[in-house]
Amino acid sequence: MKKNIFLILFLKIFLISYEQTLNIGDIAPEIKLPDPNGKIIPLSSLRGKTVLIDFWASWCAPCRYENKNLVKAYKEFKNKKFKSGNGFEIYSVSLDKNKDMWINAIKQDSLIWETHVSDLKFWYSEVVKTYRIGAIPMNFLIDKNGKIISKNLRGENLFLTLDTLLKK
């Protein structure tokens, strides 16, 4: 009997969390966070472009490793025309809590795109709840209208996905 109750409880929790995930086809929730200079940059300011919303942190080794791929992808696709928007941008959301570490990581990893934001609240950021981030690196690719068209793209998968979205 106890095993059955545990199983039912586990399934309910799993289904609730599954229902709450952001899925392909959903509109990406708005994000309005400050850049390193304190200026609030809304995600919606990038409408019209294909945008990768990238969740990362300076203290996250897998994130820092993946930054090499992001830089390469940005250089390759930033001025391309896509079916899903003209140009490619990265909206970089840091889960850091130390501003100096965040800014130094941007410089060290040569994150050359302009849109870097963070409220420096670590895992307690409201955006973590909104996007249901359980681990980083994590990302969402959105089209010119803010609709999620793919998620959790890393390495070669990012390049392949972007390539299939190009206007031919």
Please give the average per-residue pLDDT across 58-73, as a whole number.
97
pLDDT at residue 48, as a whole number:
95
Predicted confidence band of residue 69 (pLDDT cuts 50, 70, 90): very high
Query: Is the per-residue pLDDT at 33 higher than 80?
Result: yes
Domains, in order of start, for the chain = 24-165 (3.40.30.10)
Question: What does the alpha-carbon distance between residue 99 and residue 105 come to, in Å, rounded to a whole number?
Answer: 10
Phi and psi at residue 90, in whole multiples of 5°?
Answer: -120, 125
Q: State how beta strands 40-42 and 32-34 pair.
A: antiparallel
Our CA angle for 126, 89, 95, nearest 5°, is: 30
Question: What does the alpha-carbon distance between residue 88 and residue 143 come to, in Å, rounded to a whole number?
Answer: 10
Query: Is the per-residue pLDDT at 19 higher than 90?
Result: no
Q: What whole-number percentage of the chain has pLDDT above 70?
A: 88
Predicted confidence band of residue 9 (pLDDT cuts 50, 70, 90): very low
- The pair of structure tokens assigned to 16 is 């609730």
Per-residue pLDDT tens over the stretch 145-155: 999 999 999 99
Query: Is the per-residue pLDDT at 20 higher than 90?
Result: no
